[in-house]
Amino acid sequence: MSVTVRALLREDLRDFGGYKSARSEALAGEIWLNANESAWTNPRDVGGQLRRYPSPQPEALRARLAQVYAVAPAQLLIGRGSDEAIDLLVRAFCVPGQGRIVIAPPVFGMYAVYARLHGAEVIEVPLRDGAEGLCADLPGLGDAAVEKGATLVFLCTPGNPSGELLALPAVAALAQRLRGRAIVVVDEAYIEYADAPSATTLLEEHDNLAVLRTLSKAHALAGARVGCVIASAPMIDALRRCQAPYPVPQPVADAAQAALEPQALALTRSRMDAVREARARLQDGLRGLAGVRRVYPSAGNFLLVRFADAGAAFAALLAAGVVVRDMRAMPQLGDALRISVGTAAECRRVLAALGASLADGAP
């Protein structure tokens, strides 16, 4: 057991073995009668895959993900998007009703949701709004974790909705400071859009790092719900014991593996280039519109935009058939919308709708 897992895993889970499903053991046979499955295939199950329970961790997909992310398979746990990984981390490393996590709002809401469902306290160190954008205060996050005894610190890079890309040396410094005290969770849901190195490159030297990845965004598999957490092998083992037995159906695993084949990855990389180009054009177009107060820099596939009248801008886009994310209920963002970077035609439609509305002064 690593220093981090030994120090931070809930004491009542240290000897917990989790649920051992019928697929947990490596058994071979021609007639499978160990899982109480139906003896007949459902008429709608054309491929005949759905009658059987899937593997708790699809090994072929796990091996391929490990190869793509340049880690060992033992360092990776597949789950339902990266959301499940957040839930597992809170379950494993926060004592119910007593645990604490640290976040930097405005940020992805599920960190706080899972913490509160678990009875853990959420400690907030807000993003700082300055010349460089909405930026996380990593030293401040570290101070809060130490002072409050938090066991998890969540970082989002590129930030959602801030778009901020964190510098890996700063992440490494935070992990070093919190070693034995807290796990630094680096959510990289949008990292492909940034064309930047992953925090997985820091894992060898920091056993209190956990990196979240997903196929929902860059790989266009949001409906499949496939993601993973990457960390030290002992941490992965602890999280696996907290996981439900069959997180990924076999057809979903097959689709995910196909999305990771070399030809598919090459297409994804070319699409990332296209998104970065479209993001720059959309950013320039928005900055040229009257009524746009600020367009934040972004390393993701979205832009955070402040408006003189965000309600009117939101209504104008809806009237033009364009749905964007209303951020006005989030802290610090009472005048902001988040706009995903779509196709070139979709971006032109956004600019046209806002240009007409803001020029007229009416939705």
Annotated domain spans of the chain: 3-259, 264-360
Tokens 């209920």 found at: 329
Of the candidates 110, 106, 171, the one whose C-alpha atom is nearest the C-alpha of residue 135 is 106
Distance CA 206, CA 141 (A): 17
Q: What is the pLDDT of residue 28?
A: 79
Distance CA 319, CA 286 (A): 18
Q: What is the pLDDT of residue 359?
A: 63
Query: Who contacts 2 (Cβ-Cβ below 8 Å, separation ≥6)?
Result: 207, 232, 234, 235
Distance CA 137, CA 126 (A): 8
Residue 11 DSSP symbol: G
| Domain 3-259 and domain 264-360 have a common topology | no
Q: What is the pLDDT of residue 22?
A: 67
Cβ count near 328 (within 10 Å): 13
Q: What class, spelled out in words, does domain 3-259 have in CATH?
A: alpha beta
Can you identify the CATH homologous superfamily of domain 264-360? Aspartate Aminotransferase, domain 1 (3.90.1150.10)
The whole model's pTM is what? 0.94
Q: What is the pLDDT of residue 360?
A: 61
| Strand ordering across the sheet containing 227-230 | 76-79, 227-230, 209-214, 183-187, 152-156, 100-103, 121-124
List the pLDDT tens digit at each of the 363 positions of the chain.
Answer: 677 888 898 888 888 888 777 677 777 788 887 788 888 888 888 888 888 889 999 999 999 999 999 999 999 999 999 999 999 999 999 999 999 999 999 999 999 999 999 999 999 999 999 999 999 999 999 999 999 999 999 999 999 999 999 999 999 999 999 999 999 999 999 999 998 999 999 999 999 999 999 999 999 999 999 999 999 999 999 999 999 989 999 999 999 999 999 999 999 999 999 999 999 999 999 999 999 999 999 999 999 999 999 999 999 999 999 999 999 999 999 999 999 999 999 999 999 999 987 666 544
Of the candidates 159, 178, 249, the one whose C-alpha atom is nearest the C-alpha of residue 8 is 178
Pairing of strands 336-340, 325-326: antiparallel
Query: Who contacts 262 (Cβ-Cβ below 8 Å, separation ≥6)?
Result: none
